């Protein structure tokens, strides 16, 4: 094998009479490098998107949620929370009362999911409130400090920053919350209107939550929704995200009949399925660059076989076997592929590092996150290298077989 590798390397380094062969070889190396680099960067972006979306989803929402099948609310929730929080694999539990409402400031309004929470409990199952000020969290406490004249009029509310900006509300302003759970009158149901004071805003970087969520005290939510001492959901944090479906079944069984659960995987199944499909399609499309480079390798080796026909015939007349000739050109294609792949890996990982170091801004209302994430993995490098080298080796089969079929007598007849 050392003989074949030596000849293959000499052929690649030797000066040729036909300069076009060398140009095609250089283009082949560049094509392989470009394809590999593009694949590494594209996979880093798709992995980063999946990682960031998953992390922000998990940080911003509960792992498991328990609710009533009839959606009639959970009564006597305190002993139920205490009981379920002691189950194996359950790390924390928090009661919530939420409803879709309209939030307005003057003539500007938006729709939001307003949750009534106990901040101390909510922070154990979600990190959304960790992105607001300590003063805002204190305002949501069930037993706040005595109200000052500035905030004695209205109960506090905390909104996502994008939602607050969209309605033009600043900290300290009063906002109007309109609940569809109103009073029944002879002319129909009149929505209930309640004024709140904006105690603070939060920013998670995840547009879905920053533009459509808000928090009030649990007691204020119960008054707003006319649901005295009732919660709609009990949220749980578990010790293993991947086991959330199984743990959810255990929580549901422990809660008894009439209850159902959902988990973060079920709630976001379509999103992660779309991201997986995007990753597969991106891999296939960009692999076409490597395929084009492999065709260049085929052309370069075919032209080299034509140029080196006399040399091949001389080698075979000295006893070199056709199988050895075949291996010479297979190794030439392999060398071109390996060089291109190594260059592409270096460029790809440098590009991914630069992208993660110099944050590329995105429009959060379009992409749900505010920066383009990069998450390069060494496993992707192995996969891309294997695909690149395999495709390139396939391209060498025809020219190497052609070289092995050369007949020395016919090739040297007119020399």
If asked whether residues 194 and 103 sit together in one domain, one would say yes
Instruction: Judge whether residue 146 has pLDDT over 60.
Output: no
Here the tokens at position 55 are 């992390």
Here the tokens at position 363 are 């429009």
Q: How far apart are CA 159 and CA 141, in angstroms?
A: 16
Q: Look at the chain and report how many structural domains it folds into.
A: 2
The helix/strand count (H/E) of the chain reads as 17, 9
Among the listed residues 415, 407, 394, 413, the one whose alpha carbon sits nearest the alpha carbon of residue 322: 407
Q: What percent of the chain has pLDDT over 90?
A: 30
Helices 244-255 & 77-84 angle (0-180, nearest 10): 130
If asked whether residues 164 and 218 sit together in one domain, one would say yes
Instruction: Judge whether residue 415 has pLDDT over 70.
Output: no
If asked whether residues 19 and 84 sit together in one domain, one would say no
Looking at the domain assignment, is residue 202 inside a domain?
Answer: yes
**17: pLDDT confidence band, cut at 50, 70 and 90?**
low
Residue 372, H or E segment: none
42: exposed, middle or buried (Cβ count in 10 Å: 0-12, 13-18, 19+): buried
The mean pLDDT value for 369-378 works out to: 84
Residues spanned by the domain of 223: 71-257
Lowest mean pLDDT among 4-18, 217-231, 268-282: 4-18
Q: What would the pLDDT profile of 205-257 be if each residue is shown by its tens digit? A: 788 888 889 999 998 888 888 777 889 999 999 998 889 999 999 999 999 89
Task: Select the more confidently predicted residue: 14 or 122.
Answer: 122
Sign of CA dihedral 349, 353, 358, 360: positive
The pLDDT value recorded for residue 148 is: 43
If asked whether residues 209 and 303 sit together in one domain, one would say no
If asked whether residues 231 and 380 sit together in one domain, one would say no
Q: What would the pLDDT profile of 168-209 be if each residue is shown by its tens digit? A: 999 989 999 988 876 666 666 678 888 999 999 998 878 888
If asked whether residues 325 and 233 sit together in one domain, one would say no
Please list the residues that pair with 14 across neighbouring strands. none
Instruction: Judge whether residue 347 has pLDDT over 90.
Output: yes
The mean pLDDT value for 10-20 works out to: 62
If asked whether residues 120 and 194 sit together in one domain, one would say yes
What integer best gives the mean pLDDT of the chain? 84
**150: pLDDT confidence band, cut at 50, 70 and 90?**
very low
Looking at the domain assignment, is residue 302 inside a domain?
Answer: yes
The pTM for the full model equals 0.72
If asked whether residues 223 and 331 sit together in one domain, one would say no
Single residue among 231, 257, 283 that ends a domain in this structure = 257
413: exposed, middle or buried (Cβ count in 10 Å: 0-12, 13-18, 19+): exposed
**274: pLDDT confidence band, cut at 50, 70 and 90?**
confident
DSSP 374-385: ----HHHHHHHH
If asked whether residues 180 and 307 sit together in one domain, one would say no
If asked whether residues 18 and 127 sit together in one domain, one would say no
Instruction: Judge whether residue 270 has pLDDT over 90.
Output: no
Residue 271, H or E segment: helix 269-307
Q: What would the pLDDT profile of 302-332 be if each residue is shown by its tens digit? A: 887 877 788 778 877 777 888 888 888 888 8
Q: Is 336 helix (H, G, I), strand (E, B) or coil?
A: helix
Q: How far apart are CA 137 and CA 148, in angstroms?
A: 16
Looking at the domain assignment, is residue 337 inside a domain?
Answer: yes
């Amino acid at each position: 094998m050392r003989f074949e590798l030596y000849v293959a390397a000499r052929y690649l380094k030797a000066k040729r009479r036909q300069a076009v062969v060398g140009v095609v070889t250089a283009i082949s190396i560049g094509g392989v490098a470009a394809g590999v680099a593009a694949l590494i960067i594209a996979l880093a972006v798709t992995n980063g998107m999946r990682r960031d979306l998953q992390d922000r989803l998990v940080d911003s929402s509960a792992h498991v949620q328990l609710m009533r099948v009839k959606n009639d609310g959970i009564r006597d929730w305190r002993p139920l929370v205490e009981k379920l929080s002691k189950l194996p694999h359950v790390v924390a539990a928090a009661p919530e009362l939420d409803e879709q409402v309209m939030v307005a400031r003057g003539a500007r309004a938006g729709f939001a999911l307003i949750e009534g929470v106990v901040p101390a409990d909510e922070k154990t199952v979600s990190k959304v409130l960790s992105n607001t000020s300590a003063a805002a969290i204190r305002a949501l406490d069930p037993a706040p400090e005595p109200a000052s004249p500035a905030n004695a009029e209205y109960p506090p509310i905390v909104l996502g920053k994008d939602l607050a900006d969209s309605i033009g509300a600043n900290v300290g302003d009063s906002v109007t919350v309109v609940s569809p759970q109103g009073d029944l009158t002879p002319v129909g149901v009149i929505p209930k209107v309640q004024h709140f004071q904006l105690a603070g805003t939060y920013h998670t970087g995840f547009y879905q939550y920053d533009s459509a969520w808000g928090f009030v005290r649990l007691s204020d939510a119960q008054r707003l929704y006319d649901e005295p001492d009732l919660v709609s959901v009990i949220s749980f944090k578990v010790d293993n995200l991947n086991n959330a479906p199984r743990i959810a079944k255990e929580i549901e069984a422990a809660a008894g009949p009439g209850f159902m659960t959902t988990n973060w995987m079920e709630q976001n199944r379509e999103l992660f399925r779309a991201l997986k499909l995007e990753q597969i399609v991106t891999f296939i499309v960009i692999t076409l660059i490597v395929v084009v480079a492999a065709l260049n390798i085929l052309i370069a080796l075919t032209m080299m076989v034509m140029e080196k026909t006399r040399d091949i015939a001389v080698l075979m007349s000295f006893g070199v076997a056709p199988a050895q000739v075949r291996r010479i050109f297979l190794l030439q294609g392999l060398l071109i592929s390996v060089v291109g792949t190594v260059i592409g890996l270096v460029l790809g990982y440098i590009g991914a590092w630069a992208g993660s170091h110099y944050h590329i801004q995105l429009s959060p209302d379009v992409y749900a996150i505010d920066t383009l994430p990069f998450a390069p993995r060494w496993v992707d490098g192995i996969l891309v290298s294997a695909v690149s080298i395999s495709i390139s080796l396939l391209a060498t089969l025809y020219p190497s077989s052609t070289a092995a079929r050369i007949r020395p007598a016919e090739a040297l007849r007119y020399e």
